[in-house]
Structure 1
Amino acid sequence: MKYAYENLSPDQFETLVTLICQELLGISVQGFATGPDGGRDARFEGTAQLHPSISDPWKGRVVIQAKHTNGLNKSFTESEFYSATSKTSVVADEIPRITSLKNSGELDHYMLFSNRRLTGNGESEIRRAISSTCGVPSGSIYLCGVEQIELWLKRFRSIPEIAGIDPIDSPLIVSPEDIAEIVAAFAQHRDGMVSILDDPPTPRVDLATKNRLNGMSDDYSKALRRKYLKDTEQIREFLAAPENDELLSAYESAVDEFELRIIAHRKDYQSFDQVMDYLIDLLFERDPILRQRQHKRQTRALIFYMYWNCDIGAKGDDSVEADETLAS
């Protein structure tokens, strides 16, 4: 059973990681707390129950890190998370902390969890980089991606319920109040937006063409369709209802703002996957309503609807401009 880890809050993901580590290491794993330098980690001291094996468990002090991302289909080896040459990636930022803890005797073993995909080659490369830079033996470093998290949750079946996470296939329970709250939250930030509420409808191009024009990857598009395509008709019907004219206007204003932001920031991103993640992060950062757990999935569904309905992103009628943008 798969879970929508991207919809968890960082605190929820940390709780999930803590519960997994209590099974692997021991019940005395202490949950995440903010350290003097602003970093958050969990800790364990003693002899591990299961990790890396019952016959040869870790002994000593274990520091555990959890790095959550709102993005879909993210990997450990993307430059924002790890790059051999980057000094600003997530791993690069952690290396001085790991080194300091190692040198002060507070770290014998290190575990890094993230809701990102982790390949065998990527795991080996990152583990070697941390080991050589921080002086931690390679065998004392454990990296855990979303695939292994899924396996742990199958083995430790009580964890999802304790952590309060739901399966990815849970149906979207749509009510006018829920969607109205989301759209109203978009409308709260309309200062400086271009408000064009009577735009003529744009015919939908097929999704494959739209993905090509915008530079969205096949894997990302498939993930979006699998998760949110079933919600588009519900959203369309809600926005088309006569009693929701004001909310439709708010939606159109949000679309106008997004289009302006996409134009302004498109050159900063190599793919439209990253543009979509940028919009999601922007919304969650600026609005406390949208970053609440119960609203995160609905927000993502609405952003996908904007893309699927050709409200944002390059369309067939501006393919020349889109091709020039992608080529630049």
Structure 2
Amino acid sequence: MKFAYEDMSDDQFEKLIVFLCQHLLGISVQGFAKGPDGGRDAKFVGTSELHPSKAAPWVGTTIVQAKHTNGYNRNFSEPDFFSTNAANTVLAKEIPRIKKLREAKQLDHYMLFANRRLAGNAESEIRAYIAAQCGIPDSSIYLCGLEQLEVLLKTFPDVAGKADLDPVDSPLIVSPDDLAEVVQALARQKDSISALLDDPPTERVTYEQKNLLNNMSAEYAKAQRKKYLKETAQIRAFLAAPENLELLRMYESVVDEFQLKIIAKRKDYQTFDDVMEYLVDLLFNRDPVLRQHAHKRLTRAVLFYMYWNCDIGEVSDAAAD
């Protein structure tokens, strides 16, 4: 069973990691709390129960960090997360904090969890880098990516329930009130809302052709379609209802705004996968309603609807579905 980690809030991902660490280390794992330097760590002091093994457990103070991203199909090796010659990466910003804790004898072991894929060569490289930078033995560093997270959740199946996780394939129950709240929140991204009385429909090209036109990767397109296609009919019916005319106008206004942003930002990204994730991050960073766990998946569903309905992205003038 797989989970949509990218749809979790930062707090929910941290909650998941705490429950996992209570199994691996011990029930006295202290949850994530913001330190004086702004970082968020969890901590365990004592002899671990299972990690790295019952025969040779870690002893002392273990610091745990959780790094969550809204992005889909991300990995540890991407330049925003780790680079040996960049100072603005996620890991580079944490190195001084880890080093400071180590020098103050407040850290014996270090664990880093992220909802990113972790290849074996990247794991070795990053672990060696942290060890060299912070003076921590290589054997006292543990990195956990998506693959290992799935293994741990199968090993400790009760954790998912404790963290209130929902499987990717679980049905999305959309009520008019929920959808109205999301559409209104999307509309609030604009400085002003223009009353668009009539947006002519765009000819519907095939999904495969549109993906080629926009350079959306096959893997990303397949995942988007699998997760959100079943929601498009509900969204279309809701926006088409006569009583929701004002919400439809808001939606059309948002679409126009997003299409302009896509045109302006498209050259900065190699694939449309990146464009979609840029929009997701823009929404979640600018609107607290959309950041709520209950609305994150619905927000992504509305964005997929925009793309599926040919409201955003490039379309062919010739071939229609």
Q: In the alignment, does 2:118 pair up with 1:118?
A: yes
Q: What are the Cα deviations for residues 284-314 of structure 1, in whole angstroms up to 9, with x where unaligned?
A: 1222221111111111000011011111111
Report what 1:253 is aligned to. Answer: 253
Separation (CA, whole Å) in 2 of partners of 1:237 and 1:122: 46
Separation (CA, whole Å) in 1 of partners of 2:250 and 2:192: 14
Which one is further off, 266-275 or 110-119? Answer: 266-275
Q: What are the Cα deviations for residues 45-103 of structure 1, in whole angstroms up to 9, with x where unaligned?
A: 11111001111111111110001111111111111111233211101111111111111
Question: What are the residue-to-residue correspondences of 1:133-282 with 2, within 5 Å?
Answer: 133-192=133-192, 196-282=196-282
Report what 1:71 is aligned to. Answer: 71
Give 1:176 shift: 1.1
Counterpart amino acid of residue 232 in structure 2: T
Separation (CA, whole Å) in 2 of partners of 1:76 and 1:120: 11
Which one is further off, 254-263 or 186-195? Answer: 186-195
Counterpart amino acid of residue 28 in structure 1: S
Give 1:25 shift: 0.6
Separation (CA, whole Å) in 1 of partners of 2:268 and 2:36: 33
Give 1:318 shift: 10
Give 1:197 shift: 4.4
Aligned residues: 319
Residues 271 and 195 (structure 1), Cα distance of their counterparts in 2 relative to 1, 3 Å cut: farther
**Percent identity for Structure 1 against Structure 2:** 62
Helix, strand or coil at the partner of 2:189: coil
State the superposition RMSD in angstroms: 1.7
Separation (CA, whole Å) in 1 of partners of 2:168 and 2:206: 26
Residues 125 and 318 (structure 1), Cα distance of their counterparts in 2 relative to 1, 3 Å cut: farther
Give 1:27 shift: 0.9
Residues 260 and 192 (structure 1), Cα distance of their counterparts in 2 relative to 1, 3 Å cut: farther
Q: What are the Cα deviations for residues 158-191 of structure 1, in whole angstroms up to 9, with x where unaligned?
A: 1111111111111010111111111111223332
Counterpart amino acid of residue 124 in structure 2: S
Report what 1:325 is aligned to. Answer: none
Unaligned runs of 5+ in 2: none
Which one is further off, 255-264 or 266-275? Answer: 266-275
Separation (CA, whole Å) in 2 of partners of 1:128 and 1:142: 11
- What is the TM-score of this pair, normalised by structure 2? 0.95
Separation (CA, whole Å) in 2 of partners of 1:260 and 1:193: 14
Counterpart amino acid of residue 3 in structure 2: Y
Separation (CA, whole Å) in 2 of partners of 1:117 and 1:94: 19
Q: What are the Cα deviations for residues 187-214 of structure 1, in whole angstroms up to 9, with x where unaligned?
A: 2333246664423211122222222222
Give 1:267 shift: 2.4
Give 1:111 shift: 0.4
CA contact (8 A) 2:193 2:250 kept: no
Which one is further off, 121-130 or 246-255? Answer: 121-130
Separation (CA, whole Å) in 1 of partners of 2:147 and 2:32: 22
Helix, strand or coil at the partner of 1:316: coil
Separation (CA, whole Å) in 1 of partners of 2:316 and 2:197: 21
Report what 1:323 is aligned to. Answer: none
Separation (CA, whole Å) in 2 of partners of 1:42 and 1:190: 38
Separation (CA, whole Å) in 2 of partners of 1:98 and 1:308: 44
CA contact (8 A) 1:196 1:256 kept: no
CA contact (8 A) 2:204 2:310 kept: yes
Q: What are the Cα deviations for residues 97-123 of structure 1, in whole angstroms up to 9, with x where unaligned?
A: 111111111111110001111111221
